[in-house]
Structure 1
């Protein structure tokens, strides 16, 4: 299975999508001989199954199962760059997926999130801030509490209005 390009995985998936091919591969993987694994198939169907397994890289030249095809396909697939810094705590769509244990990173993340939900000088009621926080997390109360506790968002004593702290670096 020495294919180049982005579709190197197609023969493997195509082979496993075929019930007869998948069953033959399963039998071979469990130690059956090729004759036993292909038992009950017509000669033309046997040829088709063997060719499909070979094209997918799932069959050795001596007709034994080769599960290494999966590792080869995964190794050939381009991998997405792993996020670094505070991006590790955000999903690709920008939602919060966790909090850093490092206090400096946690503060940096919270500063970013505060800036996403409030503009300087903007004042929101509790419903308004909750709606914006909902776009970032399922646990709105926890994030709101973190933002207030870290002095990034201030609220009135009654808790009815919220605003961005002007200089959160202090």
Structure 2
């Protein structure tokens, strides 16, 4: 069984100004125990995993655990784009390609991934291909050009439709 997640509860507990104010009053020692708002904030903080009467170190440790949880989750998503996992060597951040690699081996790796795992259809009109590539990168024109130049797709100049290359030499272009 997995541990309950701390970060969402913690963020929720501190998502309203009155709860943040109550939390600040608790931390500063200026809290009035008879204040009903403060009591409610105490309950909400306890439910989120923070002991409002705890030391600053224990409260900080709870925040550190939440941060580590978020970092771990983001590391797992770092290269997840749609349903396709991009190779770790590629410069993706939060599911987006940061830059098109200039290194030929990394570019080939990117194009292999795009044509093999990410692009599912056998043909795209230019607008469709732009939309699909635009989900992962800003420079869709460059990616389209590379996909054609390296032999992964062909482009019909009359219809602007891109077709997946079916020959055994696909992806071996020497552009």
What 5-or-longer segments of structure 2 have no aligned partner?
80-86
RMSD of aligned residue pairs (Cα, Å): 4.2
TM-score, normalised by the number of residues in structure 2: 0.56
Distance 1:11 1:141, change over 3 A: closer
1:12 aligns with 2:5: no
Q: 1:19 to 1:96 in 2, by over 3 A?
A: closer
Counterpart position of 1:146: 146
Structure 1: runs of 5 or more not aligned: none
SS in 2 for 1:67: helix
1:10 CA displacement: 5.8
Report the counterpart of residue 100 of structure 1 in structure 2.
Answer: 101
User: Normalized per residue, which structure has more strand?
Assistant: 2
Q: For residue 73 of structure 1, what is the aligned residue in structure 2?
A: 66
Q: Deviations over 1:29-87 (max 9, x none)?
A: 5xx3x1x2x25x63555555445545532535368993332112233566353544467
Q: Greater relative contact order (Cα 8 A, min sep 6): structure 1 or 2?
A: 1
TM-score by length of 1: 0.57
Instruction: Check the 8 A contact 2:46/2:52 in 1, yes or no.
Output: yes
1:42 equivalenced with 2:34 (yes/no): yes
